[in-house]
Amino acid sequence: MSKIAILGFGTVGSGTVEVFLKNKSNYQKNMGQDVDIKYILDIRDFPDSPYADKLVKDFNIIVNDPEVTVVAELIGGNTFAYDAVKQALEAGKSVVTSNKELVATKGAELLKIANEKNVSFFFEASVGGGIPIIRPLQQCLMSDVITSITGILNGTTNYILTKMIKEGAEFSDVLAEAQKLGYAESNPEADVSGGDACRKICILASLIFGRHIDPEDVYTRGITSITKEDAEYAANWGGVIKLIAFAGKCGESLEITVCPSFVPLESQLSGVNDVFNAILVKGEATGEVVFYGKGAGKYPTASAVVSDILNALKHGNKNLSWEERSDENHVVDYNKQKHRFYLRLEGVSKSKIKELFGEVVFLSRKNALEDEVAFVTPVICVEEFEKKCSDLYPLGKIQIMD
Protein backbone atom coordinates (compact mmCIF):
# COMPACT_ATOMS: atom_id res chain seq x y z
CA MET A 1 0.00 0.00 0.00
CA SER A 2 1.18 3.53 -0.85
CA LYS A 3 0.71 6.08 1.93
CA ILE A 4 0.36 9.83 1.45
CA ALA A 5 0.93 12.78 3.80
CA ILE A 6 -0.82 16.13 3.43
CA LEU A 7 0.96 19.21 4.81
CA GLY A 8 -1.60 21.89 5.68
CA PHE A 9 -5.32 21.49 6.36
CA GLY A 10 -6.49 24.86 5.08
CA THR A 11 -8.66 25.51 2.05
CA VAL A 12 -6.63 23.55 -0.51
CA GLY A 13 -5.45 20.92 1.98
CA SER A 14 -8.94 20.06 3.17
CA GLY A 15 -10.18 20.07 -0.41
CA THR A 16 -7.41 17.66 -1.41
CA VAL A 17 -8.34 15.27 1.39
CA GLU A 18 -12.02 15.41 0.40
CA VAL A 19 -11.38 14.85 -3.31
CA PHE A 20 -8.92 12.02 -2.68
CA LEU A 21 -10.98 10.07 -0.17
CA LYS A 22 -14.21 10.54 -2.13
CA ASN A 23 -12.66 8.90 -5.20
CA LYS A 24 -10.15 6.59 -3.50
CA SER A 25 -11.78 3.37 -4.71
CA ASN A 26 -11.57 4.53 -8.32
CA TYR A 27 -7.91 5.47 -7.91
CA GLN A 28 -7.12 2.07 -6.39
CA LYS A 29 -8.91 0.28 -9.22
CA ASN A 30 -7.14 2.27 -11.93
CA MET A 31 -3.73 1.98 -10.32
CA GLY A 32 -4.00 -1.65 -9.25
CA GLN A 33 -2.80 -0.90 -5.73
CA ASP A 34 -4.10 0.32 -2.38
CA VAL A 35 -3.54 4.03 -1.69
CA ASP A 36 -4.50 6.07 1.34
CA ILE A 37 -3.80 9.25 3.27
CA LYS A 38 -1.90 8.37 6.45
CA TYR A 39 -1.10 11.80 7.88
CA ILE A 40 -2.42 15.37 7.79
CA LEU A 41 0.02 17.88 9.27
CA ASP A 42 -1.27 21.11 10.83
CA ILE A 43 -0.39 23.09 13.94
CA ARG A 44 -4.08 23.67 14.64
CA ASP A 45 -6.49 21.30 16.34
CA PHE A 46 -9.53 19.93 14.49
CA PRO A 47 -11.26 17.79 17.15
CA ASP A 48 -14.54 17.61 15.22
CA SER A 49 -12.96 16.66 11.91
CA PRO A 50 -13.79 13.18 10.53
CA TYR A 51 -10.06 12.95 9.79
CA ALA A 52 -8.91 13.76 13.35
CA ASP A 53 -7.18 10.37 13.65
CA LYS A 54 -4.84 11.33 10.79
CA LEU A 55 -3.77 14.72 12.20
CA VAL A 56 -0.21 15.22 13.46
CA LYS A 57 1.83 18.29 14.40
CA ASP A 58 5.39 16.95 14.09
CA PHE A 59 6.81 16.80 10.54
CA ASN A 60 9.50 14.36 11.68
CA ILE A 61 6.82 11.69 12.07
CA ILE A 62 6.14 11.98 8.35
CA VAL A 63 9.67 12.32 7.02
CA ASN A 64 10.86 9.32 9.08
CA ASP A 65 7.98 7.01 8.12
CA PRO A 66 9.09 4.68 5.30
CA GLU A 67 5.46 3.92 4.41
CA VAL A 68 4.92 7.51 3.22
CA THR A 69 5.96 7.72 -0.43
CA VAL A 70 4.28 11.00 -1.46
CA VAL A 71 4.04 14.29 0.44
CA ALA A 72 1.65 17.05 -0.67
CA GLU A 73 2.86 20.46 0.51
CA LEU A 74 -0.17 22.78 0.74
CA ILE A 75 0.96 25.22 3.43
CA GLY A 76 2.35 27.96 1.21
CA GLY A 77 5.10 30.46 1.81
CA ASN A 78 8.81 29.94 1.55
CA THR A 79 10.04 29.17 5.06
CA PHE A 80 8.74 25.97 6.66
CA ALA A 81 7.44 24.78 3.29
CA TYR A 82 10.90 24.98 1.70
CA ASP A 83 12.58 23.12 4.55
CA ALA A 84 9.87 20.45 4.62
CA VAL A 85 9.90 19.86 0.86
CA LYS A 86 13.69 19.68 0.76
CA GLN A 87 13.79 17.20 3.65
CA ALA A 88 11.08 15.04 2.09
CA LEU A 89 12.88 14.89 -1.27
CA GLU A 90 16.22 14.12 0.37
CA ALA A 91 14.49 11.32 2.31
CA GLY A 92 13.46 9.75 -1.00
CA LYS A 93 9.81 10.82 -0.96
CA SER A 94 8.03 12.37 -3.93
CA VAL A 95 6.54 15.81 -3.36
CA VAL A 96 3.66 17.65 -5.00
CA THR A 97 2.80 21.27 -4.24
CA SER A 98 0.48 24.14 -5.10
CA ASN A 99 2.98 26.62 -3.68
CA LYS A 100 3.78 29.11 -6.45
CA GLU A 101 6.17 31.13 -4.30
CA LEU A 102 8.22 28.03 -3.51
CA VAL A 103 8.41 26.84 -7.11
CA ALA A 104 9.13 30.31 -8.51
CA THR A 105 12.04 30.92 -6.14
CA LYS A 106 13.42 27.43 -5.40
CA GLY A 107 12.17 25.32 -8.31
CA ALA A 108 15.53 24.67 -9.98
CA GLU A 109 17.14 23.56 -6.71
CA LEU A 110 14.26 21.28 -5.69
CA LEU A 111 13.98 19.69 -9.13
CA LYS A 112 17.70 18.94 -9.03
CA ILE A 113 17.33 17.17 -5.68
CA ALA A 114 14.31 15.21 -6.93
CA ASN A 115 16.19 14.03 -10.00
CA GLU A 116 19.22 13.04 -7.92
CA LYS A 117 17.00 11.03 -5.55
CA ASN A 118 14.94 9.57 -8.43
CA VAL A 119 11.65 10.85 -7.00
CA SER A 120 9.00 13.25 -8.28
CA PHE A 121 8.56 16.97 -7.69
CA PHE A 122 5.29 18.00 -9.35
CA PHE A 123 3.55 21.37 -9.18
CA GLU A 124 0.64 21.47 -11.64
CA ALA A 125 -1.54 23.32 -9.11
CA SER A 126 0.95 26.17 -8.69
CA VAL A 127 -0.17 27.84 -11.94
CA GLY A 128 -3.77 28.21 -13.00
CA GLY A 129 -5.37 26.21 -10.18
CA GLY A 130 -7.35 23.49 -11.92
CA ILE A 131 -6.25 24.47 -15.45
CA PRO A 132 -3.90 21.81 -16.82
CA ILE A 133 -0.89 23.71 -18.16
CA ILE A 134 2.37 22.34 -16.69
CA ARG A 135 1.93 18.78 -17.93
CA PRO A 136 0.63 19.77 -21.41
CA LEU A 137 3.67 22.00 -21.85
CA GLN A 138 5.89 19.15 -20.74
CA GLN A 139 4.26 16.38 -22.77
CA CYS A 140 1.98 17.65 -25.53
CA LEU A 141 3.94 20.69 -26.74
CA MET A 142 7.49 19.47 -26.13
CA SER A 143 8.06 18.89 -29.85
CA ASP A 144 7.34 22.55 -30.68
CA VAL A 145 9.49 25.64 -30.15
CA ILE A 146 7.54 27.95 -27.86
CA THR A 147 8.21 31.61 -28.66
CA SER A 148 5.98 33.33 -26.10
CA ILE A 149 3.40 32.84 -23.40
CA THR A 150 0.79 35.43 -22.45
CA GLY A 151 -1.66 35.00 -19.63
CA ILE A 152 -4.36 36.27 -17.36
CA LEU A 153 -3.05 34.46 -14.31
CA ASN A 154 -4.88 35.97 -11.35
CA GLY A 155 -8.61 35.50 -10.82
CA THR A 156 -8.96 38.24 -8.21
CA THR A 157 -7.62 41.01 -10.42
CA ASN A 158 -9.56 39.73 -13.40
CA TYR A 159 -12.78 39.78 -11.39
CA ILE A 160 -12.11 43.37 -10.27
CA LEU A 161 -11.31 44.58 -13.78
CA THR A 162 -14.36 42.81 -15.22
CA LYS A 163 -16.63 44.63 -12.77
CA MET A 164 -14.96 47.95 -13.54
CA ILE A 165 -15.38 47.40 -17.28
CA LYS A 166 -18.96 46.06 -17.30
CA GLU A 167 -20.48 48.09 -14.46
CA GLY A 168 -18.30 51.19 -14.31
CA ALA A 169 -17.53 50.38 -10.68
CA GLU A 170 -14.71 51.88 -8.64
CA PHE A 171 -11.65 49.76 -7.78
CA SER A 172 -12.07 50.04 -4.00
CA ASP A 173 -15.74 49.03 -4.13
CA VAL A 174 -15.10 45.96 -6.25
CA LEU A 175 -12.14 44.90 -4.11
CA ALA A 176 -14.35 44.99 -1.02
CA GLU A 177 -16.96 42.88 -2.85
CA ALA A 178 -14.29 40.39 -3.97
CA GLN A 179 -13.16 40.00 -0.36
CA LYS A 180 -16.73 39.46 0.79
CA LEU A 181 -17.22 36.74 -1.84
CA GLY A 182 -13.96 35.04 -0.92
CA TYR A 183 -12.24 35.84 -4.23
CA ALA A 184 -9.71 38.10 -2.51
CA GLU A 185 -7.82 37.58 0.75
CA SER A 186 -8.23 39.97 3.68
CA ASN A 187 -4.73 41.13 2.66
CA PRO A 188 -4.99 41.20 -1.16
CA GLU A 189 -1.51 42.66 -1.73
CA ALA A 190 -0.08 39.69 -3.65
CA ASP A 191 -3.04 39.75 -6.03
CA VAL A 192 -3.59 43.45 -6.73
CA SER A 193 0.14 44.28 -6.80
CA GLY A 194 0.79 41.66 -9.49
CA GLY A 195 3.04 39.52 -7.28
CA ASP A 196 0.93 36.38 -7.63
CA ALA A 197 0.86 36.61 -11.43
CA CYS A 198 4.61 37.32 -11.43
CA ARG A 199 5.40 34.07 -9.62
CA LYS A 200 3.23 32.12 -12.03
CA ILE A 201 4.78 33.58 -15.19
CA CYS A 202 8.24 32.88 -13.71
CA ILE A 203 7.34 29.20 -13.32
CA LEU A 204 6.02 28.98 -16.87
CA ALA A 205 8.96 30.88 -18.36
CA SER A 206 11.49 28.75 -16.45
CA LEU A 207 9.78 25.62 -17.74
CA ILE A 208 9.48 26.74 -21.36
CA PHE A 209 12.82 28.47 -21.81
CA GLY A 210 14.91 26.20 -19.61
CA ARG A 211 16.55 28.70 -17.25
CA HIS A 212 15.39 29.79 -13.82
CA ILE A 213 13.63 33.17 -13.82
CA ASP A 214 13.61 34.87 -10.42
CA PRO A 215 10.57 37.06 -9.61
CA GLU A 216 12.97 39.82 -8.57
CA ASP A 217 14.10 40.13 -12.20
CA VAL A 218 10.58 40.72 -13.55
CA TYR A 219 9.06 44.17 -13.98
CA THR A 220 5.76 43.93 -12.10
CA ARG A 221 2.97 46.48 -11.69
CA GLY A 222 -0.52 45.79 -10.37
CA ILE A 223 -3.96 47.27 -10.89
CA THR A 224 -4.34 49.60 -7.89
CA SER A 225 -4.07 52.73 -10.04
CA ILE A 226 -6.66 51.65 -12.64
CA THR A 227 -9.89 53.67 -12.72
CA LYS A 228 -13.26 53.31 -14.44
CA GLU A 229 -12.23 56.24 -16.66
CA ASP A 230 -9.31 54.18 -17.97
CA ALA A 231 -11.72 51.32 -18.71
CA GLU A 232 -13.90 53.72 -20.74
CA TYR A 233 -10.92 54.91 -22.77
CA ALA A 234 -9.88 51.30 -23.38
CA ALA A 235 -13.35 50.63 -24.82
CA ASN A 236 -13.02 53.64 -27.13
CA TRP A 237 -9.64 52.32 -28.27
CA GLY A 238 -11.25 48.98 -29.10
CA GLY A 239 -10.31 46.76 -26.19
CA VAL A 240 -10.39 46.04 -22.47
CA ILE A 241 -7.94 46.31 -19.58
CA LYS A 242 -6.43 43.08 -18.24
CA LEU A 243 -3.52 42.30 -15.95
CA ILE A 244 -1.25 40.58 -18.46
CA ALA A 245 1.73 38.39 -17.66
CA PHE A 246 4.04 37.93 -20.65
CA ALA A 247 7.25 36.08 -21.40
CA GLY A 248 8.78 35.88 -24.85
CA LYS A 249 12.03 35.40 -26.68
CA CYS A 250 14.11 38.46 -27.52
CA GLY A 251 17.16 37.14 -29.31
CA GLU A 252 19.10 35.05 -26.78
CA SER A 253 17.33 36.76 -23.87
CA LEU A 254 13.75 37.05 -22.62
CA GLU A 255 11.31 39.88 -22.25
CA ILE A 256 9.10 39.19 -19.24
CA THR A 257 6.61 41.56 -17.61
CA VAL A 258 3.47 41.70 -15.50
CA CYS A 259 1.40 44.86 -15.90
CA PRO A 260 -2.06 46.22 -16.78
CA SER A 261 -2.52 46.30 -20.53
CA PHE A 262 -5.02 47.35 -23.16
CA VAL A 263 -6.03 44.09 -24.84
CA PRO A 264 -7.68 44.38 -28.30
CA LEU A 265 -11.11 42.81 -28.69
CA GLU A 266 -9.83 40.48 -31.42
CA SER A 267 -7.49 38.83 -28.90
CA GLN A 268 -8.69 35.56 -27.39
CA LEU A 269 -7.81 36.98 -23.97
CA SER A 270 -10.18 39.95 -24.17
CA GLY A 271 -13.26 37.85 -23.39
CA VAL A 272 -11.79 36.13 -20.32
CA ASN A 273 -13.88 37.53 -17.47
CA ASP A 274 -14.63 37.25 -13.76
CA VAL A 275 -12.42 34.79 -11.82
CA PHE A 276 -11.40 32.84 -14.93
CA ASN A 277 -7.80 32.59 -16.10
CA ALA A 278 -6.41 31.96 -19.58
CA ILE A 279 -2.94 31.14 -20.83
CA LEU A 280 -2.06 31.70 -24.49
CA VAL A 281 0.95 29.73 -25.69
CA LYS A 282 2.45 30.58 -29.07
CA GLY A 283 4.58 27.98 -30.83
CA GLU A 284 6.37 27.92 -34.17
CA ALA A 285 4.43 24.86 -35.36
CA THR A 286 1.18 24.94 -33.37
CA GLY A 287 0.53 28.68 -33.56
CA GLU A 288 -1.66 29.89 -30.68
CA VAL A 289 -3.05 27.45 -28.11
CA VAL A 290 -5.22 28.70 -25.23
CA PHE A 291 -5.74 27.01 -21.84
CA TYR A 292 -8.83 28.35 -20.03
CA GLY A 293 -10.64 27.75 -16.77
CA LYS A 294 -11.00 28.75 -13.14
CA GLY A 295 -7.55 29.67 -11.94
CA ALA A 296 -8.17 29.16 -8.24
CA GLY A 297 -10.65 27.80 -5.74
CA LYS A 298 -10.75 24.95 -3.28
CA TYR A 299 -11.79 22.07 -5.50
CA PRO A 300 -10.22 23.04 -8.86
CA THR A 301 -6.84 23.41 -7.14
CA ALA A 302 -7.36 20.27 -5.06
CA SER A 303 -8.14 18.33 -8.22
CA ALA A 304 -4.80 19.36 -9.72
CA VAL A 305 -2.99 18.36 -6.51
CA VAL A 306 -4.61 14.92 -6.46
CA SER A 307 -3.72 14.44 -10.12
CA ASP A 308 -0.09 15.11 -9.28
CA ILE A 309 -0.24 12.69 -6.35
CA LEU A 310 -1.53 9.93 -8.61
CA ASN A 311 1.07 10.67 -11.25
CA ALA A 312 3.82 10.51 -8.64
CA LEU A 313 2.51 7.15 -7.41
CA LYS A 314 2.02 5.69 -10.86
CA HIS A 315 4.82 7.07 -12.99
CA GLY A 316 7.58 7.93 -10.54
CA ASN A 317 10.36 10.28 -11.61
CA LYS A 318 9.23 12.09 -14.75
CA ASN A 319 10.36 15.51 -13.62
CA LEU A 320 10.83 18.68 -15.54
CA SER A 321 14.09 20.51 -15.07
CA TRP A 322 15.63 23.86 -15.78
CA GLU A 323 19.03 25.40 -15.23
CA GLU A 324 19.66 27.49 -12.16
CA ARG A 325 20.03 31.23 -12.64
CA SER A 326 23.45 31.98 -14.09
CA ASP A 327 23.19 34.87 -16.54
CA GLU A 328 22.48 38.33 -15.13
CA ASN A 329 21.42 39.50 -18.61
CA HIS A 330 19.05 36.63 -19.32
CA VAL A 331 16.03 38.90 -18.74
CA VAL A 332 15.96 42.12 -20.77
CA ASP A 333 15.88 45.24 -18.58
CA TYR A 334 12.34 46.62 -18.78
CA ASN A 335 13.68 50.12 -19.40
CA LYS A 336 15.32 48.87 -22.60
CA GLN A 337 12.13 47.27 -23.96
CA LYS A 338 9.87 48.92 -26.54
CA HIS A 339 6.09 49.18 -26.21
CA ARG A 340 3.08 51.36 -26.95
CA PHE A 341 1.41 53.09 -24.00
CA TYR A 342 -1.89 54.67 -23.05
CA LEU A 343 -1.74 57.95 -21.12
CA ARG A 344 -4.47 60.03 -19.47
CA LEU A 345 -3.60 63.60 -18.49
CA GLU A 346 -5.15 66.86 -17.38
CA GLY A 347 -4.17 70.36 -18.43
CA VAL A 348 -1.83 69.38 -21.29
CA SER A 349 -2.55 70.53 -24.84
CA LYS A 350 -2.74 68.14 -27.75
CA SER A 351 -0.06 70.12 -29.54
CA LYS A 352 2.30 69.61 -26.61
CA ILE A 353 1.55 65.89 -26.61
CA LYS A 354 2.30 65.64 -30.33
CA GLU A 355 5.50 67.57 -29.79
CA LEU A 356 6.59 65.07 -27.13
CA PHE A 357 5.38 61.76 -28.57
CA GLY A 358 4.88 62.30 -32.31
CA GLU A 359 1.96 60.61 -34.08
CA VAL A 360 -0.33 59.56 -31.24
CA VAL A 361 -3.93 58.24 -31.34
CA PHE A 362 -6.27 60.41 -29.26
CA LEU A 363 -9.14 58.72 -27.41
CA SER A 364 -12.48 59.96 -26.12
CA ARG A 365 -15.18 59.07 -23.58
CA LYS A 366 -18.53 60.42 -22.47
CA ASN A 367 -18.56 63.14 -19.82
CA ALA A 368 -14.80 63.64 -19.94
CA LEU A 369 -13.44 66.64 -18.06
CA GLU A 370 -12.85 69.67 -20.24
CA ASP A 371 -9.06 69.63 -19.85
CA GLU A 372 -8.70 65.83 -19.84
CA VAL A 373 -6.87 64.20 -22.72
CA ALA A 374 -6.09 60.52 -23.36
CA PHE A 375 -4.03 58.95 -26.11
CA VAL A 376 -1.97 55.96 -27.25
CA THR A 377 1.69 56.47 -28.13
CA PRO A 378 3.61 54.94 -31.02
CA VAL A 379 6.14 52.23 -30.14
CA ILE A 380 8.71 53.80 -27.85
CA CYS A 381 11.60 52.68 -25.64
CA VAL A 382 10.40 52.50 -22.03
CA GLU A 383 13.35 54.56 -20.81
CA GLU A 384 12.55 57.35 -23.27
CA PHE A 385 8.83 57.12 -22.48
CA GLU A 386 9.40 57.52 -18.74
CA LYS A 387 11.68 60.48 -19.38
CA LYS A 388 8.98 62.21 -21.43
CA CYS A 389 6.42 61.47 -18.69
CA SER A 390 8.59 62.83 -15.90
CA ASP A 391 7.01 66.31 -16.01
CA LEU A 392 3.49 65.30 -17.05
CA TYR A 393 2.07 63.66 -13.87
CA PRO A 394 -0.16 61.18 -15.73
CA LEU A 395 -3.46 60.11 -14.18
CA GLY A 396 -3.39 56.84 -16.11
CA LYS A 397 -0.48 54.96 -17.67
CA ILE A 398 -1.05 51.51 -19.17
CA GLN A 399 0.88 49.31 -21.58
CA ILE A 400 -0.63 48.13 -24.87
CA MET A 401 -0.67 44.39 -25.60
CA ASP A 402 0.71 43.80 -29.11
The secondary structure of 16-77 as a DSSP string is HHHHHHHTHHHHHHHHTS-EEEEEEE-SS--TT-TTGGGEES-HHHHHT-TTEEEEEE-S-S
> Could you tell me if 203 and 107 are in contact, meaning their C-beta atoms sit under 8 angstroms apart?
yes
Measured between its terminal Cα atoms, the distance across the chain in Å is: 53
Mapped onto helix, strand or coil, the DSSP state of residue 324 is coil
Mapped onto helix, strand or coil, the DSSP state of residue 339 is strand
The one-letter amino acid at 165: I
User: What is d(CA 283, CA 285) in angstroms, rounded to the nearest whole number?
Assistant: 5
User: What is d(CA 234, CA 364) in angstroms, rounded to the nearest whole number?
Assistant: 9
Among this protein's residues, is 336 annotated catalytic? no
Length in residues, the chain: 402
User: What is d(CA 196, CA 250) in angstroms, rounded to the nearest whole number?
Assistant: 24
Catalytic residue among 38, 100, 163, 200: 200
> Which residues are identified as catalytic?
200
